[in-house]
Copies of this chain bind each other. A is one copy, B any other.
Amino acid sequence: MQATSRDNPGSVGIVSPHTLSFDQGITLQCGEHLPSFDLVYETYGELNPERTNAVLICHALSGHHHAAGYHEEDEDRPGWWDNCIGPGKPIDTNRFHVVSLNNLGGCHGSTGPRSKNPQTDMPYGAGFPTVTVKDWVRTQAMLADALGIERFAAIVGGSLGGMQALQWSIDYPDRVAHAVLIACASKLSAQNIAFNEIARLAIKMDSPPDVAPEAMPGLGLARMIGHVTYLSDDSMGTKFGREVKTGDIGQGRDVQFQVESYLHYQGSKFAQAFDPNTYVLVTRALDYFDPAIEHDGDLVETLRRATAKFLVISFTSDWRFAPDRSNEIIDALVAAGKNTASANIISSMGHDSFLMEIPRYFSVLGAYLDSVASEVDV
């Protein structure tokens, strides 16, 4: 294993997605049966002969399997977590075999609303069954089986990804050594649900539910709502303030503020790239997530069966899943007697901080995963 440096801006380079078909299908938590499904995934770094150095990356609302590297030499941007995954980076591909997939119900290659329903020969569209975090974790375990990974050295996720890592620790305690939960919560608040429902209504307002997904203003609007909740008031103030893009605010005419222009752009871009039915499906999975429901809301009791060690990270300016939401998880883990490390990172960037290269964040995450790697290297 070569020496690595945290300063090395190493990339995993050119990567290719793979597809695995699961012809045995799956009966989902909602009771509906998918007769077969595909999962698209990528891997970075070598699986060691003992098969003990695998790290699973779970993605958030709009994420997918392409977490690091480039699909082509001239791709504009690398994978969505390229700043964190690579040789010498916090999730160090010189030491770990990183697995990253597009979740079931997604719109980046795994079976989802855009896929053809074999029973109707038409796209599932809005008829795609409800998928829960528990379902995602189960299909991730099926993927791990297919890849010959009995146990993950670590499962890492931010936001909705952190919820999957938490569910893993509960549903497959023997298969996850470390769970890294970043900027997440053990369940959504009424305010979180409210913003999700507003986003869903925006999508449903302008599109008959079974229409094939295209560029849709409703989805763009949904994304704009989400985007505002991912940023902080402070960071938006710093980035845009009341800067005017067009018009004359002194006369109060035809003014477009920079923040409006930015959100319009983000919304349209997202609407072209993402599937509205996937957005509805994923926000529903967020709303429904509440692992403690199996123990009448007792998270401590729910976590007793976990055997993983935990790292829980939050960000001071995150108001979507505020530090107190992480503290609820930390308190429950401690009460359940689990080995729990945690850090609340000072950042002005809101929920989106979990995607940013913030020195203390990357330092904590890197140091924790160093120790995970040391366990594996024995």
Enumerate chain A interface residues (CB-CB to B < 8 A).
Answer: 29-31, 130, 132, 187-191, 193-195, 197-198, 201-202, 205-206, 217-218, 221, 224-225, 228, 231, 233, 236-237, 239-242, 249-253, 255, 257-260, 263, 284-285, 287-288, 290, 293, 319, 322
Contacts and interface: CB of A to CB of B under 8 A. Distances in A.
A241 B201 CA distance: 20
Contacts of A250: 293
A46 B99 CA distance: 76
Chain copies in complex: 2
6 contacts: A189-B237, A190-B241, A190-B257, A198-B228, A202-B221, A205-B221
A132 B198 contact: no
Contacts of A237: 189-191
B205 A260 contact: no
Contact of A187 (B240, B242, B258): B242
Given A201-B224, A293-B250, A191 B233 contact: yes
Contacts of A242: 187-190, 193, 290
Given A198-B225, A205-B205, A252 B190 contact: no
Contacts of A198: 221, 224-225, 228, 263
B202 A260 contact: no
B260 A189 contact: no
B239 A218 contact: no
A240 B190 contact: yes
Contacts of A31: 251, 253
Nearest to A263: B194
Contact of A30 (B195, B224, B241, B251): B251
A207 to B, nearest CB: 11
B288 A249 contact: yes
Contact of A130 (B188, B252, B293): B252
Given A194-B260, A197-B263, A224-B198, A293 B217 contact: no
A147 B238 CA distance: 45
A194 B236 contact: yes
A257 B191 CA distance: 11
A251 B131 CA distance: 10
Contacts of A257: 190, 193, 197, 287
A320 to B, nearest CB: 10
Contacts of A288: 249, 252, 255
B132 A252 contact: yes
Nearest to A133: B252
Kindly list the 5 A-B residue pairs having the minimum CB-CB distance in the complex, ordered from nearest.
A190-B236, A190-B240, A190-B259, A191-B233, A132-B252
Nearest to A267: B201
Contacts of A285: 252
A262 to B, nearest CB: 9
A78 to B, nearest CB: 28
Nearest to A238: B190
Nearest to A324: B233
Contacts of A205: 202, 205-206, 217-218, 221
Contacts of A249: 288, 290, 293
A252 B193 CA distance: 14
A197 B188 CA distance: 25
A228 B194 CA distance: 7
